Structure 1
Amino acid sequence: MTFSIALRCPQTGHFGIAGTTSSMAMGARCLFVNHDAGAVITQHRTDPRLGIMALRYLRAGLSAQEALDAVATAPGIEWRELAIVDRNGNTAARQGSHQEPIHAKAFGPGMVAVGNILRNDTVTAAMIAAAEAASDKPIAERLLAALDAGLAAGGEVFPLGSAALRVSEHDDFCVVDLRVDKSAEPLTDLRRLWDAYAPQQANFVERVLNPDIGGRATNSLDILAKEGAQA
């Protein structure tokens, strides 16, 4: 009852990952990404530990398929749905034999989409097509387009309730990490969050990398002094 997509931009080497489901907290449980490793989707009776484990293997230099093979020895693996993109843009996906239908997967250049308990088996292919068609746009826009296309193609069987969007351009932190929970229209709300966040993204990143430069244009003490003068 989830559909997600992970990709690596061939021009920048940056990673993005996004997904939506009828369950809560999919952003915390299903989507794992780090710029020095790759991106990992873990869903269907989700085990978040598999995402963390796969990133470790990728960081150690394993390919997407090698990392997938390594985590495929975990207990309960036949209930899991996994997809990986590595730092070279290689992809891999695995859908366990116990997964509930309809489940599907699709691949594109440096990208992979997977879904389960879907209305039809065209959902993931539609996601890949939308992400490819938006290749000239920022990663976040490509991911949002993919989620919209997945829903338009049929989506999952149950009403959506949560969604998440993550983009990694630097090691160990995401420049975009937006999540929606308990929403009647999570993709609409996720788009609204992105539209509000996008103009601020560069400044938030600057605060991480160059705190002497990044920040508000006006000092908070100046604001308090001005308010005091007006009182």
Structure 2
Amino acid sequence: MTYSIVARDPETGQYGVIVASRFFATGALVPHLRGGRCAVATQAFVSPIWGMEAANRLALGERAEDVVPDLVARDAGQAIRQIHMIDMAGRIAAHTGKDCIGWCGQISADAVSVAGNMLAGQAVIADTLAAYLAHLHLPFGPRLLEAMAAGARAGGDKRGTQSAALVIHQSEDYPWLDLRADDHPDPLAELRRLYEVAQERFVHVAKALPTRDNFSGTTDRRGIDSAIKEADAARRAAGIPSKSFATELDP
């Protein structure tokens, strides 16, 4: 009932997971990431334990191709589970249980994997991957969104789509961006709106947050305020209205 992408952006080192499903709040259970180290998506008859353990082990340096068979060997429910992941070296591994509901499967290229189950057909993941590779010129977030939109046009989840999520990590275990549409008639379109809203203010604040290497982060907010004002002025000059539901502040 789900299709997803796990990927690492070679330009920024960001790891990301994007997922869409005919399941409520898919973002609560499917994505598992560790900053600068790995991305995992666990789905089908979902086991969040698979996702958490896999992410923890990959973050400690284990190889994706070693983690997946160990999870499978230990779980009596492995035939109804699906997982795919990318580790800190960019290696990809996946499992689609034999009893996952068709169409189901996985496909990958350099630093990106697409997997799904209960889909309209194989074209869903094929078109998703093709669109990702065709949009390598885009920033990581929009690239993931374009790829998922291509999968939706190919039929997506054969029962329709209820929820979607986009999670991107930079160097830290907290997300740089964590967007969810938990119950929406067009959740991928809602993710795109949320991504655009995030560019107005949130991403500028995110740059100032503390990190492992900078425990205090940025404590002078003048640079943040200046960046927000510049972004707002550029948007207004281009005649682009805010996509936020919040009341716009005066320039």
| TM-score, normalised with respect to structure 1 | 0.89
Compute the displacement of 1:18 (Å).
0.2
Deviations 1:113-153 (A, max 9, x none): 00111111111111111111111211111110111010011
- Given candidates 213, 217, 225, the residue that maps to 1:217 is 225
SS at match of 1:41: strand
Partner of 1:65: 65
Partner of 1:168: 169
The 8 Å contact of residues 42 and 51 in structure 1, kept in 2 or not, is answered as yes
Counting aligned pairs with the same residue, the percent is 28
The 8 Å contact of residues 206 and 214 in structure 1, kept in 2 or not, is answered as no
Partner of 1:78: 79
The 8 Å contact of residues 2 and 116 in structure 1, kept in 2 or not, is answered as yes
| TM-score, normalised with respect to structure 2 | 0.83
Partner of 1:38: 38
- Does 2:107 correspond to 1:99? no
In 2, distance between residues paired with 1:90 and 1:81?
Answer: 17
Q: Which residues of structure 2 form unaligned runs of 5+?
A: 211-216, 227-251
In 1, distance between residues paired with 2:139 and 2:221?
Answer: 22
SS at match of 2:183: coil
Compute the displacement of 1:29 (Å).
0.6
- Does 2:145 correspond to 1:137? no
In 1, distance between residues paired with 2:3 and 2:195?
Answer: 19
Compute the displacement of 1:36 (Å).
3.8
Structure-to-structure mapping, 1:195-210, within 5 angstroms:
195-209=196-210, 210=217
Partner of 1:151: 152
Q: Which residues of structure 1 form unaligned runs of 5+?
A: 219-231
Tell me which amino acid in the other structure corresponds to 1:65. Answer: E
Partner of 2:12: 12
The 8 Å contact of residues 13 and 87 in structure 1, kept in 2 or not, is answered as no
Tell me which amino acid in the other structure corresponds to 1:29. Answer: L
Greater displacement, 174-183 / 10-19: 10-19
Structure 1 runs of 4+ aligned residues shifted over 4 Å read none
Count of residue pairs the alignment pairs up: 218
Partner of 1:179: 180
Deviations 1:17-47 (A, max 9, x none): 1010010111011011112430001001111
Partner of 1:229: none
In 2, distance between residues paired with 1:202 and 1:181?
Answer: 22
The 8 Å contact of residues 114 and 124 in structure 1, kept in 2 or not, is answered as yes
The 8 Å contact of residues 176 and 206 in structure 2, kept in 1 or not, is answered as yes
In 2, distance between residues paired with 1:149 and 1:203?
Answer: 29
Partner of 1:24: 24
The 8 Å contact of residues 15 and 33 in structure 2, kept in 1 or not, is answered as yes
The 8 Å contact of residues 102 and 116 in structure 1, kept in 2 or not, is answered as yes
Tell me which amino acid in the other structure corresponds to 2:117. Answer: N
Cα RMSD of the aligned pairs, angstroms, is 1.6
Tell me which amino acid in the other structure corresponds to 1:3. Answer: Y
In 1, distance between residues paired with 2:193 and 2:165?
Answer: 12
